[in-house]
A and B are shown apart, each in its own frame.
Chain A
Amino acid sequence: MKKQGSDSNPAPVLPALPEPIKDLKIKYTKIFINNEWHDSVSGKKFEVFNPANEEKICEVEEGDKADVDKAVKAARKAFELGSPWRTMDASERGRLLNKLADLVERDRLILATMEAIDGGKLFSTAYLMDLGACVKTLRYCAGWADKIHGRTVPMDGNFFTFTRHEPIGVCGQIIPWNFPLVMFIWKIAPALCCGNTVVVKPAEQTPLTALYMGSLIKEAGFPPGVVNIVPGFGPTAGAAISHHMDVDKVAFTGSTEVGKLIKEAAGKSNLKRVTLELGGKSPNIIFADADLDSAVEFAHIGLFYHQGQCCIAGSRIFVEEPIYDEFVRRSIERAKKYTLGNPLLPGVQQGPQIDKEQFQKILELIESGKKEGAKLECGGGPWGDKGYFIQPTVFSDVTDDMRIAKEEIFGPVQQIMKFKTIEEVIKRANNTTYGLAAAVFTKDIDKALTFAAALQAGTVWVNCYSAMSAQCTFGGFKMSGNGREMGEYGLHEYTEVKTVTIKIPQKNS
């Protein structure tokens, strides 16, 4: 795991890495409504698996429409005019979010172990990166709570006009399995900071850390009904949320395919506000004048991080012709240095893919790469006899029309292509319906700023990749999503602006 910063850059010191908890007990497997734990209305449960060994971890209550209805009712009640949540000082909402951050810090080891077992995530990454980001995001949003300003507005006429930035109301939040806890926090933190109440549906593959958070939310002192968590499946619980007539807003992170369904459902039902964080096929452009070592390393991590299961994965690497061969050579060398295995063990650098469906999809795309004529440089198949492991795979001589150059793979499969000119690579980089992220590696100031403007992506990195932080706004152009998360802009999506205009005897400036 690459250490943040370097010797001359005083990046915050990462905590020492403890050992994961042995025999972790899963205490919270029910539906969380009104700060209480409920069985599913139907009585059904579903199984949760460890993707490293395909074994069942436990069973979790399976939420469906009836449970979503209960949760929405609770959230609506908690949002009533005059409720404890509505009448709470904004600074107190911030204090509760900070308290929640304290509790996440306290239970960091439990949460990191759970995330690694449930999500197939490297324990070191879960502990150091995921949990670190969770705490920082909670604290960042805590700080915004009492700084959400409306305006007073100099309207024409004898009027006193001001705006209130009100919470939207009941927010449905559907989160994915690749960063279960981080995505949970990314959703609830800005929503709660702005005063909303939420109904969260965690991914069916990875519900455990979200449910554990329910216990911390209660312990922190959030009033009942402010946060409700309904584990279940997309077509049932998820769809119930996006179709619900009493949910004011839905936020979804996941595939573009499902994103379209959510937006349709919102339109069909009550025109609930929609934000989407969807897939990507992000271009990473390397010029001959780049620092080659740095570019190779960033391009590698930018693709292979968390087994390639990142919406921002730099999955189309465009390398300028003069350095193409050298870049490919170094990338292959870098990809070969991997130890695969149980993500809880030290020394393991790559864990399993999340489930059988993903596993098969990735292998199928690898086969398409081979068939369509890309050059397989290393890897190219599964690994081990148990768990959903895939060898780190590198394709070179990839052309833009191949499936592996167009479709999101979401696995440890790196595509390297060649380019000649700036105009050409801008066109090729933008020639996609996605637009989540992009990067350019160059020392030249003119090139850097040209690409910053030209690339159609919500985040453009220059001489780095995957650099993210709670202060930075994130989201997609085109079919990579609607709206933005994090930063100040992220608050806009959780706010409804009300203009109040009062007649006054005489307006004076």
Chain B
Amino acid sequence: GTVPAAPSLPARLVSWQIFINNEWHDAVSKKTFPTINPATGEVICQVAEGDKADVDKAVKAAKAAFQLGSPWRRMDASQRGKLLNRLADLIERDRAYLAALETLDNGKPYSISYLVDLDMVVKCLRYFAGWSDKFHGKTIPLDGDFFCYTRHEPVGVCGQIIPWNFPLLMQAWKLGPALATGNVVVMKVAEQTPLSALYVANLIKEAGFPPGVVNIIPGYGPTAGAAISSHMDIDKVAFTGSTEVGHMVQKAAAESNLKRVTLELGGKSPNIIMSDADMDWAVDQAHFALFFNQGQCCCAGSRTYVQEDIYEEFVERSVEKAKNRVVGNPFDFKTEQGPQVDEEQFKKILGCINTGKQEGAKLLCGGNPAADRGYFIQPTVFGDVQDNMTIAREEIFGPVMQILKFKTIEEVIERANDSKYGLAAAVFTKDFDKANYVSHGLRAGTVWVNCYNVFGAQAPFGGYKASGNGRELGEYGLEAYVEVKNVTIKVPQKNS
């Protein structure tokens, strides 16, 4: 598709406050925090800083919107779908503005915000709009003289804590299934990237969602986020972010009211290149698998296992490709890689690179900051990586590629599975038997064959092991947002 020029910002009058009951509020504490443009390190604007008191307000509003007999509870399911489609229409209308806002706040290239992120946001909302009136309960042939059926009821007040790597897309992934199934939402957006999600709040009101159905709070994890996961009146929490914080969310849920928990956490996903793979394609995809979104993907293919016959050539080509990656101003259409999202990530990644060097991995290109201003890091490739190195075990979340060598299928499957993570994986091979054997053997929620980072609203996504609990997207994605109620009625005489 063609990408229009980015509109100048901030051109629209938008509140950077807290969104509760379709209205804008200052923080109860009146505090604000700055959000930074990672390409320059400069402050974009101040944003209201939500904390426990604001979460409490939002939860109250959400509860009221969820009361039996409320407009939202009584609304036709198909009408919920209509509202979600209307929201998608409005996002399409404001696509260029949202893409520019996303790039300003997150640093991802504008052409990608526009063509990829926004496209997927719209498709995700439309996909779930379609599910609204189709998630059927069952009637069940219970023993005895009874009429038995299930209702798929909304869970209730859903706390949703979203990350900074795909701000708008993660918002859509969370809102789509929650609203389609009739829930109400208290969403905490990442402190690094609050702006685009807050703009969407305006559109949520414009689309016609009743007040209190969606509430959005900018703020920090240890304050606003923790308030959500330990809230006694929130029925479910969904969190996407690091495994470290995922542990905390699950603990808080258990210690408070046993709210239902779904988690989408980190990964150290293995990308397995067999010697019979299409070399050009495999190099291209392995590069994309790691470097996309500045390396800031939970499912990044950050352990590239290459079969020994083709190892040397594969490494050489991958280094060449990394050296040619264009790093620069994310609003420039030539740019392929923007800055990392903030100083903390920037420092962490550089630290990992150092560790890699110290532990004996072979630095083949990059390894340093790419500019004097902003959080840019050179595309970096390490070769001769061993499984026990830190860079082979810990999530880096930056433009740092690890290439490892393997001999046999059995060996690589075992090494690939030897991780606390299990989010995604891939295998490149022309051999059908190998493809099936490897894809069935890998302990990962998504396995790509001869491709990488292929996503669609129709396909479920989620992690094995410490990469998460539960699935998002697809029909499976609805399950976490419904509470199944069994209704059993005595009847005079049961007939089949």
A156 sits at the interface (CB 8 A)? no
Given the complex of chains A and B, what is the CA–CA distance between A9 and B127 in angstroms? 28
CB distance from B188 to the nearest CB of A (A): 30
B308 sits at the interface (CB 8 A)? no
Q: Which B residues from 95 to 143 make CB contacts under 8 A with A?
A: 123, 126-127, 129-134, 136
B418 sits at the interface (CB 8 A)? no
A329 sits at the interface (CB 8 A)? no
In the bound complex, do residue B458 and residue A139 qualify as a contact, i.e. CB atoms below 8 Å apart?
no
Q: Name B475's contact: one of A143, A149, A160 (CB within 8 Å).
A: A149
CB distance from B116 to the nearest CB of A (A): 16
CB distance from B318 to the nearest CB of A (A): 30
B489 sits at the interface (CB 8 A)? yes
B85 sits at the interface (CB 8 A)? yes
CB distance from B246 to the nearest CB of A (A): 27
In the bound complex, do residue B492 and residue A143 qualify as a contact, i.e. CB atoms below 8 Å apart?
no
Which of B81, B85, B134, B495 is the most central at the interface, judged by chain A CB atoms within 10 Å of its CB?
B134
CB distance from A436 to the nearest CB of B (A): 20
Q: Name B81's contact: one of A139, A446, A469 (CB within 8 Å).
A: A139
In the bound complex, do residue A143 and residue B130 qualify as a contact, i.e. CB atoms below 8 Å apart?
yes
Q: Which residues of A contact B127 (CB under 8 A)?
A: 91, 146
A502 sits at the interface (CB 8 A)? yes
| Chain A residues bordering chain B, tally (CB within 8 A) | 37
In the bound complex, do residue B440 and residue A504 qualify as a contact, i.e. CB atoms below 8 Å apart?
yes
In the bound complex, do residue A508 and residue B81 qualify as a contact, i.e. CB atoms below 8 Å apart?
no
Q: Which residues of B contact A467 (CB under 8 A)?
A: none
| With known contacts A147-B458, A504-B437, A508-B441, A488–B134 Cβ distance under 8 A | yes
B373 sits at the interface (CB 8 A)? no
In the bound complex, do residue B82 and residue A504 qualify as a contact, i.e. CB atoms below 8 Å apart?
no
B411 sits at the interface (CB 8 A)? no
In the bound complex, do residue A450 and residue B493 qualify as a contact, i.e. CB atoms below 8 Å apart?
yes
B433 sits at the interface (CB 8 A)? yes
A384 sits at the interface (CB 8 A)? no
Q: Which residues of B contact A95 (CB under 8 A)?
A: 126
B147 sits at the interface (CB 8 A)? yes
Find the A residue at minimum CB distance from B495: A453
Q: Which residues of B contact A139 (CB under 8 A)?
A: 78, 81-82, 85
Q: Which residues of A contact B82 (CB under 8 A)?
A: 139
Given the complex of chains A and B, what is the CA–CA distance between A507 and B441 in angstroms? 9
Q: Which residues of A contact B136 (CB under 8 A)?
A: 488
Q: Which residues of B contact A508 (CB under 8 A)?
A: 440-441
Q: Name B133's contact: one of A9, A471, A504, A507 (CB within 8 Å).
A: A471
Find the B residue at minimum CB distance from A143: B130
Q: Which residues of A contact B79 (CB under 8 A)?
A: 12
Q: Which residues of B contact A504 (CB under 8 A)?
A: 433, 436-437, 440
In the bound complex, do residue A470 and residue B78 qualify as a contact, i.e. CB atoms below 8 Å apart?
yes
Given the complex of chains A and B, what is the CA–CA distance between A449 and B133 in angstroms? 24
Which of A11, A90, A504 is the most central at the interface, judged by chain B CB atoms within 10 Å of its CB?
A504
CB distance from B148 to the nearest CB of A (A): 11
Find the A residue at minimum CB distance from B133: A471
B494 sits at the interface (CB 8 A)? yes
CB distance from A442 to the nearest CB of B (A): 13
Given the complex of chains A and B, what is the CA–CA distance between A139 and B433 in angstroms? 42
CB distance from B447 to the nearest CB of A (A): 13
In the bound complex, do residue B436 and residue A502 qualify as a contact, i.e. CB atoms below 8 Å apart?
yes
B71-83: CB near A (< 8 Å → 1, else 0) gives 1001111110110
Find the B residue at minimum CB distance from A508: B440
In the bound complex, do residue A98 and residue B85 qualify as a contact, i.e. CB atoms below 8 Å apart?
yes
In the bound complex, do residue A445 and residue B129 qualify as a contact, i.e. CB atoms below 8 Å apart?
no
Given the complex of chains A and B, what is the CA–CA distance between A226 and B24 in angstroms? 49
CB distance from A132 to the nearest CB of B (A): 11
B3 sits at the interface (CB 8 A)? no
In the bound complex, do residue B78 and residue A144 qualify as a contact, i.e. CB atoms below 8 Å apart?
no
Which of A147, A160, A445 is the most central at the interface, judged by chain B CB atoms within 10 Å of its CB?
A147
A119-162: CB near B (< 8 Å → 1, else 0) gives 00000000000000000100110111111010000000000100
Find the A residue at minimum CB distance from B129: A143
Find the A residue at minimum CB distance from B437: A505
Given the complex of chains A and B, what is the CA–CA distance between A508 and B410 in angstroms? 14
CB distance from B72 to the nearest CB of A (A): 10
B491 sits at the interface (CB 8 A)? yes
Given the complex of chains A and B, what is the CA–CA distance between A9 and B71 in angstroms? 9
A454 sits at the interface (CB 8 A)? yes
CB distance from B475 to the nearest CB of A (A): 7
CB distance from B258 to the nearest CB of A (A): 31
Given the complex of chains A and B, what is the CA–CA distance between A318 and B221 in angstroms? 65
CB distance from A266 to the nearest CB of B (A): 30
In the bound complex, do residue A136 and residue B78 qualify as a contact, i.e. CB atoms below 8 Å apart?
yes
A10 sits at the interface (CB 8 A)? yes
In the bound complex, do residue B493 and residue A10 qualify as a contact, i.e. CB atoms below 8 Å apart?
no
B369-410: CB near A (< 8 Å → 1, else 0) gives 000000000000000000000000000000000000000000
CB distance from A142 to the nearest CB of B (A): 7
Given the complex of chains A and B, what is the CA–CA distance between A136 and B126 in angstroms? 15
A483 sits at the interface (CB 8 A)? no
Q: Which A residues from 484 to 507 make CB contacts under 8 A with B?
A: 488, 502, 504-507
Given the complex of chains A and B, what is the CA–CA distance between A463 and B232 in angstroms? 41
Given the complex of chains A and B, what is the CA–CA distance between A504 and B489 in angstroms? 48
In the bound complex, do residue A140 and residue B440 qualify as a contact, i.e. CB atoms below 8 Å apart?
no
Given the complex of chains A and B, what is the CA–CA distance between A94 and B495 in angstroms? 39
Q: Which residues of A contact B71 (CB under 8 A)?
A: 10
In the bound complex, do residue A143 and residue B131 qualify as a contact, i.e. CB atoms below 8 Å apart?
yes
In the bound complex, do residue A91 and residue B147 qualify as a contact, i.e. CB atoms below 8 Å apart?
no
Q: Which residues of B contact A147 (CB under 8 A)?
A: 130-131, 134, 458, 475
Q: Which residues of B contact A506 (CB under 8 A)?
A: 437
Find the B residue at minimum CB distance from A11: B76
CB distance from B160 to the nearest CB of A (A): 23
Find the B residue at minimum CB distance from A146: B458
Given the complex of chains A and B, what is the CA–CA distance between A292 and B147 in angstroms? 27
Which of B123, B130, B458, B493 is the most central at the interface, judged by chain A CB atoms within 10 Å of its CB?
B130
In the bound complex, do residue B134 and residue A471 qualify as a contact, i.e. CB atoms below 8 Å apart?
yes
B469-496: CB near A (< 8 Å → 1, else 0) gives 0000001000000000000010111110
B60-90: CB near A (< 8 Å → 1, else 0) gives 0000000000010011111101100100000
Which of A146, A160, A454 is the most central at the interface, judged by chain B CB atoms within 10 Å of its CB?
A146
B413-453: CB near A (< 8 Å → 1, else 0) gives 00000000000000000001100110011000000000000
Q: Which A residues from 442 to 476 make CB contacts under 8 A with B?
A: 445-446, 449-450, 452-454, 469-471
In the bound complex, do residue B437 and residue A449 qualify as a contact, i.e. CB atoms below 8 Å apart?
no
In the bound complex, do residue A160 and residue B77 qualify as a contact, i.e. CB atoms below 8 Å apart?
no
Q: Which residues of B contact A449 (CB under 8 A)?
A: 147, 489, 491-492
> What are 28 A-B contacts defined by CB distance under 8 Å?
A10-B71, A11-B76, A90-B458, A91-B458, A98-B85, A139-B81, A139-B82, A139-B85, A143-B81, A143-B133, A145-B130, A146-B130, A146-B457, A147-B130, A147-B458, A449-B492, A450-B491, A453-B494, A469-B78, A471-B77, A471-B78, A471-B134, A488-B136, A502-B436, A504-B433, A505-B436, A505-B437, A508-B440
Chain A residues proximal to chain B, CB less than 8 Å:
9-12, 90-91, 94-95, 98, 136, 139-140, 142-147, 149, 160, 445-446, 449-450, 452-454, 469-471, 488, 502, 504-508
Known: A453-B491, A504-B437. 19 other contacts (CB 8 A): A10-B71, A12-B79, A91-B127, A91-B457, A91-B458, A143-B134, A144-B130, A146-B127, A146-B457, A160-B440, A449-B147, A449-B489, A453-B147, A453-B494, A453-B495, A454-B495, A504-B433, A505-B433, A507-B440
6 smallest beta-carbon distances between A and B, as pairs: A143-B130, A449-B491, A504-B436, A453-B495, A471-B133, A146-B458
